[in-house]
Amino acid sequence: MNQSLSSPEAPKAIGPYSPAVRAGQLLFVSGQIPIDPATGQLIDGDIAAQARRVLDSVGALLKAAGLSFANVVRTTVFLADMNDFGAVNQVYGTYFVEPYPARATVQVARLPKDARVEIDVIASFV
């Protein structure tokens, strides 16, 4: 049976989905955008600040499941502008250690709330 997870340190879902779902030995964290969990609004700041907020939300959801970034096996990074790749990559590298998770990074036409970055992850309990 699947189990929905959330955290007060991560924003609430802005639609009919779970912030994270445990399915067997895997945790699927929905795409996180740079929303302040206290206000429900996008944060101010440059792309690095937005990437940190996103990854802090991901970390809060991992923690709620009893996991850490070391358990992440796959990520997808969605960027509104591929020119932000380097700055996001620098922030991303401070959250993960080797062996790094598999990853795809894509530029998209638009993200929810006109965010500049969104990241989802899959983590393993084993």
pLDDT by residue, tens only, the chain of 126 residues: 899 999 999 999 999 999 999 999 999 999 999 999 999 999 999 999 999 999 999 999 999 999 999 999 999 999 999 999 999 999 999 999 999 999 999 999 999 999 999 999 999 999
Domain hosting residue 48, numbered range: 3-124
Residue 47 contacts residue 57 (beta carbons within 8 Å) = no
Interstrand relation of 26-32 and 117-124 (parallel, antiparallel or unpaired): antiparallel
We report the CATH number of the domain holding residue 86 as 3.30.1330.40
Structural domains counted in the chain: 1
Give the pTM: 0.97
> What is the torsion angle, in degrees rounded to the nearest 10, for the CA atoms of residue 110, residue 113, residue 116 and residue 122?
-90
